Chain A
Amino acid sequence: MTAGTPAATRLADLFEYGLDAPICLTWELTYACNLSCDHCLSSSGRRDPRELSTAEAKAVIDELEAMQVFYVNIGGGEPTVRPDFWELLDYATAHHVGVKFSTNGVRITPEAARRLAANDYVDVQVSLDGATAEVNDALRGPGSYDTAARAMRHLADAGVRGFKLSVVCTRHNIPQLDAFKAIADEHGAQLRLTRLRPSGRGADVWDELHPAPGQQRELYDWLLAHGDRVLTGDSFFHLSAYGEALPGLNLCGAGRVVCLIDPVGDVYACPFAIHDEFLAGNVREPGGFTGVWRESELFRGLREPQTGGACAACGFHDSCKGGCMAAKFFTGLPLDGPDPECVQGHGEALLAGRSADRSGLPRPRADHSRRAAPPRRGPVPVKLTRRADLDRPPVSACEENPLAGLRLP
């Protein structure tokens, strides 16, 4: 981020009150996915029959063009399994909406990679959550490391420079940061690290997977050492309370500069907050996405000045701003209090106060996880019998015999 201006206001201060249009937004094209990652923040797996049609998706892109949204972060689910994925990609870039899309690599064939190399307005992010198959596949499922590795090879071979290797930081892969960097360098890619959120299925594994307090420091030092050569999607601003601010806005952009459009067109304040509490509207409403962004009461509320709440007295509130709203919400912490991973340790006591079975914590609004057992195939065997309490057919309503149905003891 550069400041090409005479005045000395911080960009983040201007953004706190929201913009007429988001800078970028996340758009999850489908809930369908070939994988079932333990920490999926959208609880994806099965397609939703109400997902936006091709025509509806194009209408959304038209709106984004009119609002001058610079780019969309497309995800899912696995966006490339939508049959119209490439059509929508071309439509967006032809309409001056840049596309960054996340993929597990399943459809990145050599041909797809060549196609991507030819489009200057597309960025690809390949997800990998372990620098070894062992660490990655434990979280993302068997074979997922190889799928990602193959996709990266195809992208590199096709000459796609600077694609992103996207990693969600967990307790198990923090020791692998250098190894991730090496994999990225080897492919001419750029490393992108993001925070594990307790959203979607991630809520069920967050306690076991989120970086341990010592690892947070390790991550912070590593990020400082690598500066803006490693991308973070601005997701670690809660670590700024260690001292020096990390590159980026260091601001919760929910409803102010970012939001989420989910596969059925619901608009949420951020990609990590798929819950009624953060639902602003739907792009199918008469005002479309523009109407939701500009008029929704929820978004207007988020653009009001926020009080620091329990954090106001903390000397670091200016740098971390209380951390991530979604992380607080899904771990059951008050929204105006500290982040569950507050580096000053203010979140730990609150986390310890939760009930042991985690009952009462908010659950995501939608769950498209695939069923644990595959659906039954073939005919269902049914044996036809007569009800045990009937020894003869019921009496017809037209029966004229006054003694019909009479049972003698």
Chain B
Amino acid sequence: MPGIDIDRAWDLHPRVSVRPEPFGALLYHFGTRRLSFLKDRRLLDVVRNLRDAPTARDACARAGVPVSDLPRYGAALGALARSSMLVERTP
């Protein structure tokens, strides 16, 4: 699964609502009416960090994602971007 360019700045789509859950989080996109989910808390931290981080790579680092796990997290962010949950932003 191709990931996103983690050296660019990303953010949640403004119409996405995030609800933390014990297993991670639920995401609902009010524009596409699609439900999605994050299956771990660290990914939730990454997604929340996106807004203030200059790059997705930085958002991962701030959430404590080990470098070896970056491809997995990049792929997860890629899936979110494909369903319009994430959008690229100008840093």
Contacts and interface: CB of A to CB of B under 8 A. Distances in A.
A337 B52 CA distance: 52
Contacts of B10: none
A70 B17 CA distance: 8
Contacts of B62: none
A6 B40 CA distance: 8
B50 interface: no
Given A11-B37, A23-B35, A6 B17 contact: no
B31 to A, nearest CB: 8
B76 A4 contact: yes
A14 interface: yes
A91 to B, nearest CB: 17
Interface string A8-24: 01010010000111010
Query: Which of A5, A9, A123 has the most B CB atoms < 10 Å from its CB?
Result: A5
Interface string B21-45: 1111011101101111111100100
Interface string A211-242: 00000000000000000000000000000000
Given A4-B76, A70-B17, A23 B26 contact: yes
A5 to B, nearest CB: 4
Contacts of A5: 24, 37-40, 43, 76, 79
Contacts of B77: 4
17 contacts: A2-B36, A3-B39, A4-B27, A4-B76, A4-B79, A4-B83, A5-B38, A5-B79, A6-B75, A9-B39, A20-B22, A23-B28, A23-B35, A68-B19, A70-B17, A71-B28, A120-B31
Contacts of B21: 14, 19-20
Contacts of A70: 17, 19, 26, 28, 30, 35
B45 to A, nearest CB: 13
Nearest to B80: A4
Contacts of B27: 4
Interface in A1-54: 1-7, 9, 11, 14, 19-21, 23
Contacts of B72: 6
Contact of A2 (B15, B33, B79): B79
Interface in A51-109: 68, 70-71, 96, 98
Contacts of B17: 68, 70, 96
A207 B40 CA distance: 46
A40 to B, nearest CB: 26
B85 A21 contact: no
Nearest to B19: A68
Interface of A: 1-7, 9, 11, 14, 19-21, 23, 68, 70-71, 96, 98, 120-121, 123
B38 A4 contact: yes
Contacts of B33: 123
B55 to A, nearest CB: 19
Chain A interface helix/strand/loop/mixed: loop
A133 B23 CA distance: 48
B83 A7 contact: no
A6 B73 contact: yes
Nearest to B82: A2
Nearest to A20: B21
Contact of B36 (A1, A7, A98, A121): A1
Interface in B47-91: 69, 72-73, 75-77, 79-80, 82-83, 85
Nearest to B34: A2
A321 B30 CA distance: 30
A89 to B, nearest CB: 15
A278 B76 CA distance: 39
Query: Which of A6, A7, A23, A71 has the most B CB atoms < 10 Å from its CB?
Result: A6
A23 B37 CA distance: 11
A119 B49 CA distance: 30
A123 B28 CA distance: 15
A4 B36 contact: yes
Contact of A6 (B15, B23, B35, B76): B76
Contacts of B38: 4-5
Shortest Cβ-Cβ A-B pairs, 8 listed:
A5-B39, A70-B28, A4-B80, A68-B19, A6-B72, A4-B79, A2-B83, A7-B39
A14 B25 CA distance: 11
Given A19-B21, A23-B35, A4 B85 contact: yes
Given A2-B36, A2-B80, A70-B28, 10 more contacts: A1-B36, A2-B79, A4-B27, A4-B36, A6-B73, A7-B39, A11-B37, A14-B37, A20-B22, A123-B33
